[in-house]
Amino acid sequence: MATLGQIIFYSMVTLIVIFSAFIILILVLAFKNSSSAVLSSDAAPVANFGQDELLSCYLSVPATSAQISLTQVSVTWEKTDMNGLVYQFVNGAPNLVNQNSQFAGRTQLFPNELASGNASLLLRSVMSSDQGVYTCTISSSGGGGKVNINLRTAAFSAPTFTLSNGSLGAVANWWSPKPNVTWKDANENALDGNTSFTQNSAGIFSVVSTLQSVNMSSTYTCKIANNLVAAVSKATVTESGVSGNSYFVYSAASSLLASTYLNILTSIYYLT
Ligand SMILES: *[C@@H]1O[C@H](CO)[C@@H](O)[C@H](O)[C@H]1NC(C)=O
Ligand SMILES: *[C@@H]1O[C@H](CO)[C@@H](O)[C@H](O)[C@H]1NC(C)=O
Ligand SMILES: *[C@@H]1O[C@H](CO)[C@@H](O)[C@H](O)[C@H]1NC(C)=O
Ligand SMILES: *[C@@H]1O[C@H](CO)[C@@H](O)[C@H](O)[C@H]1NC(C)=O
Ligand SMILES: *[C@@H]1O[C@H](CO)[C@@H](O)[C@H](O)[C@H]1NC(C)=O
């Protein structure tokens, strides 16, 4: 005979198993949903103010070997919480009647790419109000669906290096939001630099950072970073001067799947 305690224990175990199966089911469905027929090669790009940005959106399964007829593909680009459209293409031509004026003359698709299901949007001369979530919707004889793209905007530039009286200087005049500057030697030890910022009338920061008493034939890493993007530079100091090279690292947007998972856990916690 099972005691009351044992019954409760096994009931709890059964409940836990059922809820675990439920979570797995939801995750599988969420994942299946995210791999719909329309994809983006970068769903969370960081665009540099004033530069052009390509918002990627394409059909994952190109229509057989034959191309889609242009009159059979329609594409709509919308932006969350904004009236009007970003761009629309229907019946073989752009339809810009409902386009929001913010995007007038600044957006285009690539007609030659549309026939292969590529509905990527070129956004010219990015500004901070372009930041937000865009939805690209494709419908065509070769399939359809939609994808969200979270565009973040920032100002960022690689520093130029100078060597003067034993001090290594890094100057980068295009940063926003305000970044942090960190220096390291070749052994990854943190070094104290002296950093100053000046902000222009448009809110863009100019960054000047100086590392005192550097050693010859050494390589230093300078990292200028805000919450969206980092410029990582290696500067090599020699008797004849300094040479630097840089690359950018973009921060990933928070994962939608992770937040879905968290919501489910929260509601189950609430149920029990
Ligand atoms: C879509 O077209 C753009 C513009 O020509 C191109 O840069 C991009 O690589 C294309 N994407 C795909 C998935 O073909
Ligand atoms: C060069 O550096 C030395 C020691 O760091 C300092 O004493 C000197 O004043 C500096 N000269 C100039 C022109 O900054
Ligand atoms: C930063 O600059 C100030 C003034 O020029 C100087 O007194 C200070 O020693 C510097 N700090 C470092 C870590 O170089
Ligand atoms: C230069 O080398 C000396 C001796 O190895 C070291 O103490 C010092 O921290 C180095 N300076 C920098 C800026 O790396
Ligand atoms: C910059 O540094 C400050 C203090 O060290 C820190 O609180 C802040 O989070 C940093 N910001 C970024 C974008 O890393």
Q: Compute the distance between CA of residue 264 and CA of residue 122 in angstroms, rounded to an integer.
A: 37
| pLDDT grade for 13, boundaries at 50, 70 and 90 | confident
232 CB within 6 A, ligand 4: no
Whole-number Å distance, alpha carbon 215 to ligand 2 midpoint, is 15
The H-or-E segment that residue 175 falls in is strand 167-175
81 CB within 6 A, ligand 3: no
Residue 62: per-residue pLDDT: 53
Whole-number Å distance, alpha carbon 180 to ligand 5 midpoint, is 6
Ligand with smallest separation from the Cα of 166? 2
Ligand with smallest separation from the Cα of 53? 1
**pLDDT per residue over 25-60, tens digit each?**
655 555 544 444 899 999 999 999 999 999 999 998
Pocket test for ligand 1, best of 55, 56, 61, 77 (most atoms within 8 A of CB): 56
The H-or-E segment that residue 94 falls in is strand 93-94
Q: Compute the distance between CA of residue 96 and CA of residue 150 in angstroms, rounded to an integer.
A: 23
pTM, 2 dp: 0.77
SS3 of 26, please? Answer: helix
**pLDDT per residue over 213-225, tens digit each?**
999 999 999 999 9
Question: Which domains are assigned to the chain?
Answer: 37-154 (2.60.40.10), 160-271 (2.60.40.10)
108 CB within 6 A, ligand 1: no
**pLDDT per residue over 69-104, tens digit each?**
767 899 999 999 999 999 999 988 999 999 999 999
Ligand with smallest separation from the Cα of 111? 1
Residue 107 pairs in a beta bridge with 123
What angle do helix axes 256-271 and 4-34 make, rounded to 10 degrees? 160
Nearest CA to ligand 3 atom 5: 194
